Structure 1
């Protein structure tokens, strides 16, 4: 990728996250409610936000991920992020992840951003499978994934060790043919 792809929806602009976004990222990544199911402790310093940005940049450079900052069209402040990680291009597969500042929950913003990123994954990255790992108590994320057409495949017991405990994860997937069918259904 020569230039970072900008995605636009009716209300949102999804763009590359830069070092200048560290303070706005820290605002939501330091929130215990936002981080409850993120797999990391809430951030406490701006350096942690810089490290997160650096990680986004390294996955892009290595072609193992791409993460968009979510902004409202009329503003440039990053209010969350959404993107792909662990891209396995030889298998046409990737994981997807997202988080959003608590002030913007319940407004359809995460759904709008996720829809744009999913479309990019199938149409531009030519993925066949997008998967999401979601902790069972994360009801909001489960509802969001299912609204986008993801199917629960099973439970991965004690799949991750984060924040001093083992977490079970539901494995959700969305396949290219499911996406194509859902697009045709909306036409």
Structure 2
């Protein structure tokens, strides 16, 4: 998974490889305390903070991140998603600007990225770590066919305390079987 991510297109979105030069477009997302209340860092004070975060996201071997851009306005990044690149179990994450939420963009983009991960990159599993109170993200995970597999406590700097982080998992067998029938199938725990 060391190569740069490929361009991915969906019915309504263009997924382009995330680059440090996307920092100005993504800064409002990272800066607004209400936009990403469950993120693992404090709100960004500057575009340089966002650029540094993007650079750190891209640094791990096997990391693959994309910006989300609508087909109607492909010049503007409305969010990002991708694989964290950790050794072992590939983590997956996503975020979208508040004015583009509840429109199915994350779900649509995640389907394309997960297809890439399972079919082309041959990942044997993917995990999502979701703050216990992040109901919208939990709904997205479950609609994609991820199943909750456990939890652990994690420090959330924006809250100044630790909270439960729920672990959701997906495997290629269930993902590909579900996609062959028009969508992911519910996955059994285990």
Instruction: Judge same fold: TM > 0.5, yes or no.
Output: yes
Residues in 2 aligned to 1:177 and 1:171: alpha-carbon distance in whole angstroms: 19
Task: Give the counterpart of 1:162 among 145, 156, 163.
Answer: 156
TM normalised by structure 2 equals 0.88
Cross-structure match for 2:25: 24
- Deviation beyond 3 Å, 4+ runs, structure 1: 1-4
TM normalised by structure 1 equals 0.89
Structure 2 residue matching 1:87: 3-state secondary structure = coil
The structure with more helix, counted as a fraction of residues: 1
* 1:128-187 C-alpha deviation (Å, 9 max, x unpaired): 11110111100000000000000011222x2x2231211211110011111022012218
**Would the alpha carbon gap of residues 149 and 4 (structure 1) be closer, same or farther in structure 2, given more than 3 Å must change?**
closer
Task: Give the counterpart of 2:177 among 154, 157, 181.
Answer: 181
Quick check: 16-25 or 176-185, which moved more?
Answer: 16-25
Question: How many residues are aligned here?
Answer: 179
Residues in 2 aligned to 1:39 and 1:4: alpha-carbon distance in whole angstroms: 24
Equivalent runs, 1:1-187 vs 2, <5 Å: 3-59=4-60, 62-63=61-62, 65-74=63-72, 75-88=74-87, 91=88, 93-156=89-152, 158=153, 160-163=154-157, 164-186=160-182
Unmatched segments (≥5 aa) in structure 2: 184-190
The structure with more strand, counted as a fraction of residues: 1
Instruction: Using the TM superposition, give the Cα deviation of residue 17 of structure 1 relative to its aligned residue in structure 2, in angstroms.
Output: 2.2
